[in-house]
Amino acid sequence: MTLDVRSSAFAEGGMIPSRYTCDGENVSPDLEWSTVPAGTKSIAVIADDPDAPRKTWVHWVLFNLPPALRGLPKDVPKTPTLADGAIQGINDSNELGYDGPCPPSGVHRYYFKVYALDRELTLRSGCTKQQLLEAMEGHALADGVLMGRYTH
């Protein structure tokens, strides 16, 4: 099953406003997703940039969002856990929470991926994208992606 992921901040394939980047307030954009399948126990979000030099750059790792949730507001706090019990991992800037686009040169693509999982994960705050992917393996019931672009 595919989730429909969208944002009021930018359209699929569109330019991400500077507010959500290192050139602005560096706050997370709002995200919305379609209804998740029956049996969903938690939701995870990963945002990354495959166009970064040397490796895919991780901008956000967030998991154990409640299954009834259908989106995130803009400017999610950069705290280890959120009020709803969700847990934030570490990004490649070595910080918790969202770290916006900041490409060294050219136009980069940023993928906001949402996963509906059949279980809650036992990972702790500060985990990496790789640790999250390993814990999610075989547990995704549905996923979807929203891609935006950015350049300085």
Residue 1 banded pLDDT, cuts 50, 70, 90: confident
Asked: is 5-150 a CATH 3.90.280.10 domain? The reply is yes
What is this structure's pTM?
Answer: 0.97
Contacts 24+ apart (CB under 8 A), 120-125: 120/41, 120/42, 120/64, 121/42, 121/44, 121/63, 121/64, 121/87, 123/63, 123/87, 123/89, 124/87, 125/80, 125/81, 125/87, 125/88, 125/89, 125/96
Query: Considering the chain, what is the average pLDDT of its residues?
Result: 97
Nearest by Cα to 49 from 123, 125, 107: 107
pLDDT band at 104 (very low <50, low <70, confident <90, very high): very high
Average pLDDT over residues 104-118: 97
Question: What mean pLDDT is predicted for residues 102-122?
Answer: 97
Domain ranges (residues) in the chain: 5-150
Q: How many CB atoms lie within 10 A of CB 42?
A: 23
pLDDT digits (tens, 9 = 90+) for 57-101: 999 999 999 999 999 999 999 999 999 999 999 999 999 999 999
Strand order in the sheet with 57-65: 87-88, 57-65, 42-49, 108-117, 140-150
Q: Give the pLDDT confidence of 114-152 residue by residue, as tens digits.
A: 999 999 999 999 999 999 999 999 999 999 999 999 998
Q: What size, in residues, is the chain? A: 152
